[in-house]
Amino acid sequence: MEAPGPERRLAAVLAADMVGYSRLMEVDEAGTLARLKTHRLELIDPSIAKNRGRIIKTTGDGMLVEFRSVVDAVSCAAEVQRRMALRNADVSPARWIQFRIGINLGDVIIEDNDIFGDGVNVAARLEVLAEPGGICVSGAVRDQVNHRLDDIAFEDIGEQNVKNITRPIHVFRVRLEPDAAAAPESGKDGATATITTRKPSIAVLPLVNMSGDPEQEFFADGLTEDIITELSRFRDLLVISRNSTFVHKGKAVKVQEVARELDVEYVLEGSVRKVGDRVRITVQLIDAQTDRHVWAERYDRKLEDIFAIQDEVTRAIVSTLPGRVEAATQERAKRQRTDNMAAYECVLAAKVLHHRSRREDNAEAQSLLNRAIALDPNYAHAHAWKACVLGQTWVYGWCADRDATFQQVADELQIALALDDNDSDVHRILAAVNLTRDDHDRAAYHQERALALNPNYDIVVVQQGEFLTWLGRPEEGIDWIRKAMRLNPYHPERFWNHLGRACYCAEKFAEAAEAFARITRPDYTHHAFLAATFAQMGNAVAAAAHAAEVVKLEPGFSVATYLATQHYKQEADRRRHETGLLKAGLPA
């Protein structure tokens, strides 16, 4: 009796390889590995699982995956390449992580959970033919997929001779057309079928040159363009393009007429005037519906480096303006019943409730965010903030099932990430969530992404300071936190908490005490820090008073349990905190 031959089957085989792996590893080994690991955990592996694939093997810079369906294989490859392109959008080209992907449909040999044979070899050769960020498939794949996937197209690049394959391979390049799933669907009458969230809208009118100096004309126009560009980084602000607003340059305009023409709620206007060796820039934000001034500011600078002034004033305006727009929009929302609120207004109201850090406000915020998502299921910002608010219930123990809540946070963030990979809030919250797991490497990746996406967002900037403190770099953390406070003079009180921790870790105890003292409604964690701070300063009376408040507000408090919730990477920082708490007389 003959022994049975090797097991064979028809399979769709995907081969992927990272472009420039050796170069990236040479430049930044730890950073490259951390980013690659994050991409796999958040994007590549979930996409493979969603499309019913099986990872056969991985190498440092590549992988081999088997799919039962060739349509699933192509869908997975298209999703990975699209979303990797979004992830690379805000990164310098020298640090891009890109993949080449090849897909073949062919006969494979099965042995010990591995696959071999011609079907695998062809997939590997197709991968080499793909462009960075691209996909190449065999003729068999193209014939099977054909028109089953609406959001891709195939480009015939003919028969190709490849290494170690004797016959030529008919190769098609996959063209990733705009994602049909993300495009609005239209009915026969052309009406948009999907819901679009109405966000606050603003037109930045060209700043008027009041000097009569032609050189200042270029400065005024450049400053206007920079403000438009930087404001556009804020995902919850609709900013009218330069081409539309510069139509009004040099004309006498009425704000309300311009607002009606451009269909915006807010208008920023201003002027530039050179006086001797100084330049004065005046800006004002106007609510076009009421013709009311929401905010105004004047910047006087010495005219030494005109481009440095341009950058500085742009940062100052852009860091303040979104907060003033948000506050004005919140005032409007207060005058509406909840059932009349738009999705954006629901999110805005939920943010305000979240910052109060009270259980009843958190529950109301969840309700508003659920309504926002019901109104617009594709609103990434709403999903991100739902994760943030649910995360608050997890941190404070306001949820019945902590494991289920944490999973819900992760699920909402994955939805937000899939809907908008370039939302700084999504990455900010992902950084915070990974920090709660003490996964400092992945938290660093998302924090870096958030900061690159929006370097003028005070919440992201203060979190950079907080994160550096956790890493054991409190002096740098202090600088970032103070920068966030300058960016937003109306910042939430919790910024003082971050500054207090950073000062404590830097052993600037007097400054730490001053920062914590700014908190008007301290909870037991603030009192615990104040107790430790005064104990380190040798003020036993004040330390004992704050320790008593801790036990009063949290009767079951123990130093060990409390420290288990802290995310210090360096043991020396944890020990310093522990020493202060025990010295204050708090129970071990």
478 lies in the same domain as 515 = yes
Q: Give the CATH number of the domain where residue 557 resides.
A: 1.25.40.10
Q: Work out the percent of the chain whose per-residue pLDDT is above 70.
A: 86
User: What was the pLDDT predicted at 92?
Assistant: 64
pLDDT band at 219 (very low <50, low <70, confident <90, very high): confident
Asked if residue 181 is part of any domain, the answer here is no
pLDDT at 239 over 80: no
Q: How many domains does the chain have?
A: 3
- DSSP string computed for 340-384: G--HHHHHHHHHHHHHT--HHHHHHHHHHHHHHHHH-TT-HHHHH
Domain that holds residue 247: 201-321
Shared-domain flag, residues 169 and 206:
no
CATH of the domain at 219: 3.40.50.10610
169 and 113 housed in the same domain = yes
- Inform me whether the pLDDT recorded for 78 exceeds 90: yes
Same domain, 409 and 317: no
Q: What is the pLDDT of residues 460-476, one digit of tens each?
A: 999 999 999 999 999 99
Distance CA 459, CA 233 (A): 14
| 230 found inside a domain | yes
- Give the mean pLDDT of 62-89: 91
pLDDT tens-digit series, residues 106-119:
889 988 778 888 88
The confidence score (pLDDT) of residue 390 equals 94
Do 224 and 163 fall within a single domain? Answer: no
Which token pair is 333?
A: 């929302």
Tell whether 95 is covered by a domain: yes
Report which of residues 134 and 353 the model is more confident about.
134
Whether 512 is in a domain gets the answer: yes
**Res 3 pLDDT > 90:** no
Residue 339 has pLDDT above 70, yes or no: no
pTM over 0.75: no
Among 491, 186, 155, which Cα is nearest to 323's? 491
Distance CA 379, CA 369 (A): 10
The dihedral over CA atoms of 32, 34, 36, 38, expressed in degrees to the nearest 10, equals -150
What CATH number does residue 95 fall under? 3.30.70.1230
On whether both 401 and 499 belong to a single domain, the answer is yes
CA–CA separation, 280 vs 313, rounded Å?
Answer: 10
- Tell me the mean pLDDT in the region 559-587: 95
**Four-residue CA torsion sign, 305, 306, 311, 314:** positive
The residue-averaged pLDDT of 396-414 equals: 91
Q: 561 pLDDT exceeds 90?
A: yes
Specify if 381 maps to a domain.
no
pLDDT tens for 513-537 read: 999 999 988 999 999 999 999 999 9
The answer to whether the CB of 107 falls within 8 A of the CB of 118 is yes
Q: Are residues 38 and 169 in the same domain?
A: yes
Q: Which long-range contacts (CB under 8 A, 24 or more apart) does 110-116 make?
A: 110/6, 110/7, 110/8, 110/9, 111/6, 111/7, 113/56, 114/56, 114/57, 115/11, 115/13, 115/56, 115/64, 115/66
pLDDT at 331: 58
Out of 126-130, 232-236, 263-267, least confident range = 232-236
Q: Encode pLDDT of 138-163 as tens digits.
A: 999 998 898 888 888 999 888 888 88
One domain, residues 205 and 164? no
Residue 279 and residue 405 in one domain: no
Instruction: Give pLDDT, residue 179.
Output: 40
Q: In sequence order, which residues have a C-beta less than 8 Å from that of residue 261 and are 6 or more positions away?
A: none
Q: In this structure, are 421 and 283 located in the same domain?
A: no
Q: Are residues 470 and 548 in the same domain?
A: yes
Q: Which helix (H) or strand (E) holds 284?
A: strand 278-287
**Run of H or E including 239:** strand 238-239
Question: Could you say which of 295, 321, 347 is where a domain stops?
Answer: 321
User: Which one has a higher pLDDT value, 373 or 246?
Assistant: 373
Is residue 393 classed as helix, strand or coil in its secondary structure?
Answer: helix
The CA angle 563-565-566, to the nearest 5 degrees, is 65
Residues 145, 237, single domain; the answer is no
Query: Hey, CA dihedral for 440, 444, 450, 455, is it positive or negative?
Result: positive
Q: What's the confidence (pLDDT) of residue 351?
A: 81
DSSP designation for 214: H
Residue 538 maps to a domain: yes
Of 276-280, 289-293, 344-348, 475-479, give the lowest mean pLDDT range. Answer: 344-348
With 60 as the cut, is the pLDDT of residue 493 above it?
yes
